[in-house]
Amino acid sequence: MLPFKLVYSDDYYLPIGAHVFPAEKYRRIHDRLLETGVAEPSDFVTPQPASDQDVLLVHTPEYIHKLKTGTLSAREELEMEIPYSPELVQAFWLAAGGSILAADCALKNGVAFNIGGGFHHAFPDHGEGFCMVHDVAVAIRRMQRDDKITRAMTVDCDVHQGNGTAAIFAGMRVPTGPLPSTPASTLTPAAPAKVRNAQAGDVFTISLHQENNYPMWKPPSSIDVDLPDGIGDDDYLAWLDNALSSGLRQFDPELICYIAGADPYREDQLGGLALTIEGLKRRDQLVFRVAHARNIPVMVTFAGGYAQHLEDTVTIHCNTVIAAKEIFPAGV
Ligand SMILES: [Zn+2]
């Protein structure tokens, strides 16, 4: 039995037909974790859909009304890049409920997964890039509303910038100077990347992403690392190490929300970075090791993953669970 919970429902399946987003990946991850003995049936917990009040903590009443009544404009639906249906709305409300439950479990057990979620391109008033509702933001705002935390950090390692996250938590940010100098122990990446830093509100947002990729307009996160095309494992890990060290020098979160996208993978159809499956697992280990060393609970969501072979995407996501099992062998 795992020392942490995996939040999952068969109803995470997104009814979007033939689509580059592999909607069946959640079930495949669930099945693989059981088949390989990484998890047992009792490790899984079933979420309830988020309430409308929960979703309102992040999204505007007008947008929620449009979703509930099927009155998005053609342009709004196009921007979301997934076909609207009432069933799809239900799936997103469930994913948000899953992230709320995962955040709750993480605060109890040190780490927890939503075997879904990570819809980081959703904005308060509209959806984008396969994302309708920002489940991670809903979970953070719910934990804050329940007085379980005051400060959270998002660590977004999806290949695409977390534009919705940045916009939602922009708060009172003002641009600041360059990053403080990094300690000597920190690795120095060989490949150049642009690092942008802004002051955080109650949620500190870190995004490592490919610069030349969607979204074109990247609203400022607390730390953005704009990576060049084709970056490999070692440089990526060095930049991640730098960003985590810098972020945790500036901010003291009570919960880390790790958005563990599988799309920095070198065979991803929508990504232009060159990480290997092993490198992606080292990425997960780094995030978990840093959080564990500081006793910061971690809630994990899976976000994107568009490998040419679906099995690779499933492997990358399952490896994130295995990495947590290695780093948190007995919980925190
Ligand atoms: Zn992505």
Distance 176 CA to ligand 1 centre (A): 27
Residue burial 204-240, b: 16+ Cβ < 10 Å; e: rest: bbbbbbbeebbbeebbbbbbbbbbeeebebebbbbbb
3-state secondary structure 119-138: CCCCCCCCCECCECCCHHHH
In the block, tokens 């009304």 appear at 65
Reading phi first (left if > 0) and then psi (alpha if -120 to 50, else beta), residue 125 is in: alpha
- Report which secondary-structure segment, H or E, holds 99: helix 86-109
Residue 59, SS3 per DSSP? coil
**pLDDT for the residue numbered 177:** 45
**pLDDT for the residue numbered 200:** 65
Distance 139 CA to ligand 1 centre (A): 20
Question: Alpha-carbon distance 291 to 206, whole Å?
Answer: 14
Residue 279 main-chain phi, psi, to 5 deg? -60, -40
**pLDDT for the residue numbered 187:** 54
Question: Alpha-carbon distance 177 to 16, whole Å?
Answer: 43
**pLDDT for the residue numbered 193:** 83
Q: What is the pTM for the complete model shown? A: 0.93
Q: Which residues surround ligand 1, an ion (CB under 5 A)?
A: 158, 160, 261, 263, 304
Distance 106 CA to ligand 1 centre (A): 23
Distance 330 CA to ligand 1 centre (A): 31
**pLDDT for the residue numbered 184:** 41
Question: Alpha-carbon distance 296 to 79, whole Å?
Answer: 36
Distance 130 CA to ligand 1 centre (A): 9
Distance 183 CA to ligand 1 centre (A): 30
Distance 157 CA to ligand 1 centre (A): 9
Distance 116 CA to ligand 1 centre (A): 13
Distance 173 CA to ligand 1 centre (A): 25
Distance 262 CA to ligand 1 centre (A): 8
How much is the CA Rg of the chain, to the nearest whole Å? 18
Tens of each residue's pLDDT in the chain, 332 residues: 999 999 999 999 988 888 898 989 999 999 999 999 999 999 999 999 999 999 999 999 999 999 999 999 999 999 999 999 999 999 999 999 999 999 999 999 999 999 999 999 999 999 999 999 999 999 999 999 999 999 999 999 999 999 999 999 996 544 444 444 444 444 567 777 888 776 668 999 999 999 999 999 999 999 999 999 999 999 999 999 999 999 999 999 999 999 999 999 999 999 999 999 999 999 999 999 999 999 999 999 999 999 999 999 999 999 999 999 999 976 44
Distance 122 CA to ligand 1 centre (A): 12
- Asked if residue 137 lies in contact with residue 58, where contact means CB atoms within 8 angstroms, the answer is yes
Distance 126 CA to ligand 1 centre (A): 17
Distance 42 CA to ligand 1 centre (A): 30
Distance 1 CA to ligand 1 centre (A): 31
Residue 173 main-chain phi, psi, to 5 deg? -70, 140
